[in-house]
Structure 1
Amino acid sequence: MAQARHRSTGGRITQLVARLIAAAGLAVNAGIHAHLADQYDVVSASISEGDLFRLEAGLASLGVIVVLFWRHPIGDAYAWLVAAAGLFAVLLYRYDDIGAIGPLPDMYEPIWTTDKKISAISQAVTIVVMTFLLLTRRRRKPPRAS
């Protein structure tokens, strides 16, 4: 019984540490995008790249709250999706000049700035940690019939 309790406590600590790492990754991503948004307002179609940076910052900030306080598979999937979509976008626009798409501006930027590297790393770490949390989530056992 004590060994099972120890494994359960160790599992909770691992889950907590993973959530703190994921929240930190999302917070770094949010901070970088919020900080850089005004510099990208000039890249514009119907929507500016700065507006998209603000949206990313807001979505990542919400992800921090969800990961730390909701602890539900839907919230975990949301955080994973925010990080994955952000990483996809940074890699796409780093390596491919796809041009403007509808209201979105041409966001091609074929260089790795320090902020872009940090943001990409934080998103990748968040994806890995959120994948771990989603795959290791303990399911509640139904109550046993007497």
Structure 2
Amino acid sequence: MRPRSGFELTLRLLVVAALGVDAVVHLQLAEVMQLAAPGGLGGGTLFRAQAVLAGLAAVLLLVTGARAAYLLAGLAALSALVPVLLYTYVQVPAIGPVPSMYDPTWSTPKVVSAVAEALAFVLASVGVASSAAWRDRRVPARS
């Protein structure tokens, strides 16, 4: 799908870049998280899964620019942002196969990842809203 405008292309590339940062940080921290939270699925496994999800969402958005791709990108970002905030401020016990990953500290990679996730979510939300506006402009109004 061709970009609808320079704005849309810039928006798409910014979301893709933010998801890329998120994926790289999660891959870099996966081994440490496996050691820190080895129970159940393991923290490393969850971090690798998050990296794959962010990467797939980024590629889909880059290739298509579709509203659904923006929606998936936003959900991928949110699926990482909510847990990082939750596990920083709340000592959540293990839930089924998900280990307890409480870490009240803010390391540089954690901050970088959280900022990228928040940015990706906000920009993807703009993409979803803009996609609806672009669609509404193309469809003639019915009387």
Same fold (TM over 0.5): yes
1:26-49 residue CA offsets vs partner (Å, 9 max, x unmatched): 000000001111111121222100
Moved over 3 A (4+): none
- Counterparts of 1:1-146 in structure 2, within 5 Å, are 12-42=5-35, 43-137=37-131, 138-139=134-135, 141-142=138-139
Secondary structure of the structure 2 residue equivalent to 1:24:
helix
Count of residues in Structure 1 that have an aligned counterpart in Structure 2:
135
State the shift of 1:143 in Å: 7.4
Where structure 2 has 5 or more consecutive residues not aligned to the other structure, the ranges are none
In structure 2, distance between residues paired with 1:141 and 1:118: 38
What residue identity is the alignment partner of 1:117? V
Where structure 1 has 5 or more consecutive residues not aligned to the other structure, the ranges are 1-10
State the shift of 1:142 in Å: 4.4
State the shift of 1:51 in Å: 0.3
Structure ID, larger Rg: 1
In structure 2, distance between residues paired with 1:23 and 1:29: 10
RMSD of aligned Cα (Å): 1.7
1:88-146 residue CA offsets vs partner (Å, 9 max, x unmatched): 010000000011111111100000000000000000111111111111111163479xx
What residue identity is the alignment partner of 1:141? R
Q: Is the 8 A contact 1:44 1:104 kept in 2?
A: no
